[in-house]
Amino acid sequence: MDVVDRENVKVPNSVIIGGITDTDVDEDLIDFLNKYGRTARTLKIDDPQSPYHKNAIVEYESGAAVAALEPLLPYTFKSPNEVTYEIRTLSTEYVSAITNSATHSFFSELRKIAQISGKSFEEVLQDHLTGCAQSVASSPEPSEIMVSTQETQNETLEPDATNMSVNAPELVNQPQPDLPPSMPRSFITPPEVQKVVVEHIVRSEAPGSQFNAPFRLRQFSGKQPCPSHEVDFDTWRHSVELILQDPSLSDLQRSRRILDSLVPPAANVVRPLSPQASPSAYLELLNSAFGTVEDGDELFAKFLNTFQDAGEKPSQYLHRLQTALTKALKRGGVVASEADRHLLRQFCRGCWDNALLADLQLGRRRDNPPSFTELLLQLRVEEDKQMAKENRMKKYFAATRPKAASHAIVANTILQLPSRYRITSNNSVPVLL
């Protein structure tokens, strides 16, 4: 699977799927995969020499998605159009493929060594196995290597290491090259060789965690007004809450990302905390220093006094109301079950576009209020209709407006003056006689 190395695929976060049709029928499969998490990308394997030709690798953004899907795998998915897809973990297939390739390469190199040295293949293999046994006897167990690797590397590597350790016994079932009849089959895959292969795979796969591009928090300092290259505390806190919910990160990694995003004076606030402090301790201390301290009732009163500004669209006004209501909700000023009702009631009070309220019949929906997303969509659709109508009206009147015509009147007649007037010598001013 050259595509895995070439595209830096995150093996623990990926599955491989057979039966792809490259048509609209595959949309059912995509909907099924999206139930377990957001997909980062899909790669098609186009290699006629590979047994995975025309298969597809689907990479999730988080290893939690594969962990949730793994109990079902391998899984046969049938779409409503009677198309069958085979879904398997990429780690299992990838380890099996590279192990098989490594085994054949190993024996091929030993044959070359035997030809160069003049020894038989059996003697060269026996010498190599003896050296491997001595190396294994003086090296730590693979389980210890896995533990140390897991402590120093990203935890998303765990499914990969687990799959490799589970599949180690399966090396016995891999196709082996033909050996002379005098060569015992037990020399090919003894337990010592299996341990060495697993140890080599774990060590070689560990650096792959560097391709798990870390999500970086934006900078936060707590300065007022907020600098243009930073975010305010509420936006920063929301990003931190997402990191706290990420199962692929340890507490140490979460704390480090929080510290990396802080600059003075916010960095000075958390300086007294010890390196062993939990992420929630950092968040609690910063919340006491920069979070909202207003009472929930006061925030709700501000919400009730929020009205539509001049020139502000109804959808923008709804956004401001939702922000104010969310703050009051977090501080206990509003019951969560009544949030939609309060939002609709205040929108009807504070929006000055009575025609819009009448068209959407929002006043009649107070007993069964729509959610914020539903109401926002209705407002944006109505605003789009009104804007399109205004544009059509402007184009119509611009096309039917009569063009202004100018007429030049040239007087070629000679001014006839009464007999009592005469023209002076300068031919410009008539003088009464």
- Do both 300 and 374 map to the same domain? yes
Q: Is residue 247 part of a domain?
A: yes
Please indicate, yes or no, if residue 410 is contained in any of the structural domains: no
- 74 and 31: one domain? yes
Task: Flag whether 430 is in a domain.
Answer: no
Residue 218 falls inside a structural domain: no
Mark whether 84 and 21 lie in a shared domain: yes
pLDDT digits (tens, 9 = 90+) for 179-215: 444 445 544 555 656 666 666 555 554 444 443 445 6
Q: What per-residue confidence (pLDDT) applies to 128?
A: 73
Based on the fold, state whether residues 243 and 281 are members of the same structural domain: yes
123 and 92: one domain?
A: no
> What's the pLDDT score for residue 53?
80
Query: Residues 329, 386: one domain?
Result: yes
CA distances from 350 to 304, 341, 359 (A): 9, 14, 16
Count of alpha carbons within 13 angstroms of residue 77, beta-carbon side: 22
Q: What is the pLDDT of residue 238?
A: 83
What's the pLDDT at 413? 47
What is the per-residue pLDDT for 135? 67
Which residue, of 96, 115, 147, is where some domain finishes?
96
pLDDT of residue 307: 93
Q: In the prediction, which pLDDT does 170 show?
A: 45
420 part of a folded domain: no
Q: Could you tell me if 108 and 92 lie in one domain?
A: no
Q: Which residues in the chain land under pLDDT 50?
A: 142-174, 176-177, 179-183, 186-187, 205-213, 410-411, 413-414
Picking from 208, 209, 220, 211, the residue whose alpha carbon sits closest to that of residue 257 is: 220
Instruction: Give SS3 for 228.
Output: coil
Same domain, 279 and 308: no
Q: How far apart (Å, rounded) are the C-alpha atoms in residues 404 and 401?
A: 9
Q: What per-residue confidence (pLDDT) applies to 137?
A: 63
Same domain, 12 and 31: yes
Residues 302 and 388 both lie in one domain:
yes
Looking at the domain assignment, is residue 353 inside a domain? yes
Q: Is residue 256 part of a domain?
A: yes
Strands, DSSP E only, in 79-237?
Answer: 84-89
For 245-262, b/e burial (b = at least 16 CB within 10 A) is ebebbeeebbbebbbebb
Q: Which domain does 21 fall in, by range?
A: 2-96
Domains identified in the chain, total number: 4
**Does one domain contain both 237 and 277?**
yes
The per-residue pLDDT for 107 is 75
Question: Does residue 192 sit within a domain?
Answer: no
251 & 324 share domain:
no
Query: Which of 43, 77, 96 is the endpoint of a domain?
Result: 96
Backbone angles phi, psi at 59, to 5 degrees: -105, 125
Please report, for the domain that includes residue 54, its CATH number. Answer: 3.30.70.330
